[in-house]
Amino acid sequence: MAKRTINSKLFSEAQKYLVGGVNSPVRAFNYVGGDPLIIKRGHGSKVYDHDGNEYIDYVLSWGSLILGHAFPDVVNAVKAAACDGLSFGTTNIKEVELAKLIHKAIPFVEKIRFVNSGTEAVMSAVRLARGHTGRDKIVKFENSYHGHADYLLVSGGSGLATLNIPQSPGVPRSFIKDTMVLPYGDFRKLEEAFELHGREIAAVLVEPVGGNYGVMPPDTGFLRHLRKITDRYSALLIADEVITGFRFSFGSFMHRSGVLPDLICLGKIIGGGLPIGAYGGGGKIMNKLAPLGKVYQASTFSGNPVVMQAGISTLKVLALSGGRYRQIERFAELLSSAIERAARSCNIDLKVSRFGSMFSLKFERKDDFKKFYRGLLRSGVYFAPSEFESNFVSFAHTKKDIDDTINLIRVILAKI
C-alpha cells in the first residue's frame, strides 16, 4: 500500500505556484510532516490519490460532507442547476427554498442571509450585533475558531493552534482591542467581564461544541448561563454552528439543547460541499440589515443557484435520515473506544475526545501522533493531519469501514 511517487511530484509542482503548495495552512501537513495528500477524486467514504491509493476519509472536507463524497442526488441536482446558469446576482427561488428548509429545521431562524463562507457568516453576524446594539465589544472563548476575520484571530484554534501563531502578523493591535477572550466554562470570569464592561458588550460568540481545538464537548450549564447573562445586559448571543449545524440532528445543536441564541452562523454542511455560509435569527434583528436596515453587508455570489441546490439536495436527504444520525454517532463511539482500548494495551498515552459523530485524538507525546499519522496514511486511512482538528463520520461510512479502520489502527499502535 501507499507508494506516493506521483503525489510527491505533484506536490513539488504545487509548491512552485501555490504558497506552501496549499490554499489553506493545515492542508500542508506541517504538524505531521511528509507530503500532504493531493486528492484526485472521492466517492462515498473514500478518497483516491493520483498514485491510485484509496483512503477511508474521516476529514470529509473538514466536516462539510455529511453524506460522503459525490452523493448521487446532490451531484445530479447540481449538474442540472449548472446547466441553467451558474450565477445571476439576483434573487433566485433556490435561495428561498434553502431558507425555508433551514427555518423548518431551526425555527428561530425567521430570516437568513446567505454568504460564501463561515468566515463571512461570523464577520457579518458580529457586524449586525454591533449595529443592532450600538456597542463595540465582543466576547469570544479561548481556543475557539470563528474564521479568519482580523479581530477574531485572537487565541484561535485550528491552524493557529497547529502552527502556534497566537495572533497573526498583519492584524493591527487596534483591531483586537474590542475582542475580549475568556476561558470557556468559567462562570466567575464571565461575571467579572460583564460587571466591568457589560454595557459595552455587543455579543458573546460561542462554538457550542468546540471543533477546532480538538473536540470540546458542550457545557450546557455554561451555555444556559451565557443566555442569562447576555439577556441581563441586553447583549446578543451568537452561536457559531458552522460545524455543528446539521451535524448531530436535522437542525442546530443550540435549538436541540433548548438554549436559543439571537443569531446563528452556519456553513459547511448546509452547502453540501460547495462554498457557503449563512447567518440568521429573529426578524427584528435581521431586518436591521440593508436593504431594510442600515447595517451593510453584500456579496456578488451570495445565494448562488448551484450552491443553493447542493444545500437543498443535502438537507432534503438529512430531513429523512433521523436514524442515520444515531448510526454515525454509534460508529464514532465504536471507533473512539476501540482506539482507546488499543492504545491502553500498547501502553500508549492517548485520549480520544468525542461528541456525537465528531472525534479527535490527543497523544501524550506529539512524536507518537506523527508516527501514528504516517502509519494511517500508509494503511489507507485519512484522519485530520493535526491533533487540533476534528475527525468526522459520514452517512457514507459502513460498518466495514469502521471495522477496517479499527483493525488497521490496532496494528499501527502496536508498532509505535
Ligand X SMILES: *Cc1c(COP(=O)(O)O)cnc(C)c1O
User: Which residue among 35, 49, 240, 401 is the active-site one?
Assistant: 240
User: Which residue among 55, 58, 145, 279 is the active-site one?
Assistant: 145
Q: Enter the C-alpha cell of residue 386.
A: 493535526
Shortest Å, Cβ 118 to ligand X:
2
| Distance in angstroms (rounded) separating the CA atoms of residues 104 and 101 | 5
> How many chain residues bind ligand X (CB under 6 A)?
15
* Binds ligand X (CB under 6 A): choice among 21, 131, 214, 267: 267
- Give residues with Cβ within 8 angstroms of 196, minimum separation 6: none
CA distances from 9 to 35, 38, 51, 305, 398 (A): 10, 10, 11, 37, 33
Contacts with ligand X in 94-133 (CB under 6 A)? 117-119, 122
Contact flag: residue 143 with ligand X (CB under 6 A)? no
Contact flag: residue 245 with ligand X (CB under 6 A)? no
User: Which residue among 268, 325, 371, 373 is the active-site one?
Assistant: 268
Shortest Å, Cβ 147 to ligand X:
4
| Distance in angstroms (rounded) separating the CA atoms of residues 60 and 42 | 9
Smaller CB distance to ligand X: residue 119 or 360? 119
| Distance in angstroms (rounded) separating the CA atoms of residues 353 and 372 | 17
* Binds ligand X (CB under 6 A): choice among 27, 140, 146, 247: 146
Q: Mask: binding to ligand X, 150-189, rule CB under 6 A, as x and -?
A: ----------------------------------------
Evaluate whether 350 touches 343 at the Cβ level (below 8 Å).
yes
Give the dihedral sign, CA 153/156/158/163.
Answer: positive
Contact flag: residue 145 with ligand X (CB under 6 A)? yes
* Binds ligand X (CB under 6 A): choice among 44, 68, 131, 147: 147
Shortest Å, Cβ 303 to ligand X:
16
| Distance in angstroms (rounded) separating the CA atoms of residues 355 and 329 | 8
Shortest Å, Cβ 28 to ligand X:
16
Tell me whether residue 349 is one of the annotated catalytic residues: no
| Distance in angstroms (rounded) separating the CA atoms of residues 281 and 103 | 9
* Binds ligand X (CB under 6 A): choice among 229, 236, 243, 318: 243
- Report the phi/psi class of residue 214: left, alpha or beta, with left for phi > 0 and alpha for psi in -120 to 50: left
Contacts with ligand X in 373-402 (CB under 6 A)? none
Residue 173 dihedral angles phi and psi, to the nearest 5°: -50, -45
| Distance in angstroms (rounded) separating the CA atoms of residues 93 and 89 | 12
Tell me whether residue 186 is one of the annotated catalytic residues: no
Q: Enter the C-alpha cell of residue 28.
A: 500542508
Tell me whether residue 49 is one of the annotated catalytic residues: no
Contacts with ligand X in 197-236 (CB under 6 A)? 207, 211-212
- The residues assigned a catalytic role are 145, 240, 268
Chain residues that interact with ligand X, rule: CB under 6 A: 117-119, 122, 145-147, 207, 211-212, 240, 242-243, 267, 277
